[in-house]
Amino acid sequence: EVQLVESGGGLVQPGGSLRLSCAASGFTFSSYSMNWVRQAPGKGLEWVSYISSSSSTIYYADSVKGRFTISRDNAKNSLYLQMNSLRAEDTAVYYCARGGSWSEYAFDYWGQGTLVTVSS
Amino acid sequence: QSVLTQPPSVSGAPGQRVTISCTGSSSNIGAGYDVHWYQQLPGTAPKLLIYGNSNRPSGVPDRFSGSKSGTSASLAITGLQAEDEADYYCQSYDSSLSGSGVVFGGGTKLTVL
């Protein structure tokens, strides 16, 4: 059974940092691209970042470019998101999502999400 | 404001058919890029409902169907059930965006009357 479990969320002050983790199991993690998608309270989905299976290709949304860093450790079946210079508008539930088997742009499995709150 | 436009809300009675539209442009749906649909039940993570415009992942009831034409796509739900009450999001690729080009619609809240 495919499972994605996020952790690392919490309350952080503006300008602070946080590192999110996503532990994957039930599939060959190193064969799939991964993404972070966030959802602000009461709002829609916003794609945040993409990393290819080998980490050779990385993309960021303009809203987080230069502040967030995505990475993965295929030996540990884990995905990460280092978030620096956090702003109030970064407050959201952050989901990790797997790029699908049919199309890596169809996210076929999602974690349960971890809440990041940026507030003083 | 997303480049993919969805109605904020739709509603229908049990057993009825409802459709949710997703309107894009020549740089995304109209350029031939695939549309995917997600269902987000209250308090849960999104779930892939339709991929590649009209394909259902294993386990998704055939009451759900997707289609695409021109610069728009649609999700249809027939035989509406109470458990279908959720938020629905379309997603595609936009060649005018930086980064991966992944874009979501603003979401549509389905209310079962």
Banded pLDDT at B99 (limits 50, 70, 90): confident
pLDDT of residue B98: 80
Q: What is the pLDDT of residues A45-69, one digit of tens each?
A: 999 999 999 999 999 999 999 999 9
Structure tokens at B101: 């080009």
Q: How many angstroms separate the CA of residue B104 from the nearest CA in chain A?
A: 6
A19 close to A9: Cβ distance less than 8 angstroms: no
CB-CB contact of B4 with B105 (8 Å): yes
The rounded percent of chain A whose pLDDT value lies above 90 is: 97
Residue where the block lists tokens 């699908």: A100
B100 pLDDT band, cuts 50/70/90, is confident
Return the pLDDT at B2: 87
Mean pLDDT value of segment B62-91: 98
- Residues of chain B with pLDDT > 90, as a percent, come to 93
> How high is the pLDDT of residue B56?
97
Strand pairing report for A10-12 and A114-118: parallel
Mean pLDDT taken over chain A: 97
Residue contact B102–A46, C-beta within 8 A:
no
Closest CA of chain A from B64, distance in Å: 16
Q: In this complex, how many residue pairs, one in chain A and one in chain B, have their CB atoms less than 8 Å apart?
A: 74
pLDDT 10s per residue in chain A (120 long)? 999 999 999 999 999 999 999 999 999 999 999 999 999 999 999 999 999 999 999 999 999 999 999 999 999 999 999 999 999 999 999 999 999 988 889 999 999 999 999 999
pLDDT at B1 over 80: no
Q: What is the mean pLDDT of residues B69-90?
A: 98
What DSSP string describes B12-59? Answer: E-TT--EEEEEE--TTTGGGT---EEEEE-TTS--EEEEBTTTBPPTT
Q: What is the distance between the alpha carbons of residues B20 and B110, in angstroms, rounded to a whole number?
A: 9
Integer distance in angstroms from the first to the last C-alpha of chain B?
28
**Rounded distance between C-alpha atoms, residue B101 and residue A22, angstroms:** 23
Of all residues in chain B, the one with the smallest CA distance to A52 is B100
Best of B102, B103, B104, B109 to disrupt the A interface (most A CBs within 10 Å) is: B102
How does pLDDT run across B5-59, given as a tens digit for each residue? 999 999 999 999 999 999 999 999 999 999 999 999 999 999 999 999 999 999 9
Residues from chain A that touch B92, judged by Cβ atoms under 8 A, are 105
Contact A105 B45 (CB under 8 A): no
Joined tokens for residue A27: 């599939």
| C-beta atoms of B45 and A95 within 8 A | yes
* Closest CB from A46, A100, A111 relative to B45: A111
**Residue located via tokens 């969805």:** B6
pLDDT at A102: 86
Residue of A45, A70, A95 to mutate when probing chain B, most B C-beta within 10 A: A45
Q: Answer with the residue of higher pLDDT: B21 or B1.
A: B21
Put simply, the answer to whether B36 touches A105 (Cβ < 8 Å) is: yes
Residue type for B39, please? Q
User: What's the mean per-residue pLDDT of chain B?
Assistant: 96
Residue A7 has φ and ψ, to the nearest 5°, of -155, 170
B44 min Cα distance to partner chain A (Å): 7
C-alpha B97/C-alpha B112 separation (Å) is: 35
Check: CB of residue A8 under 8 Å from CB of residue A117. Answer: no
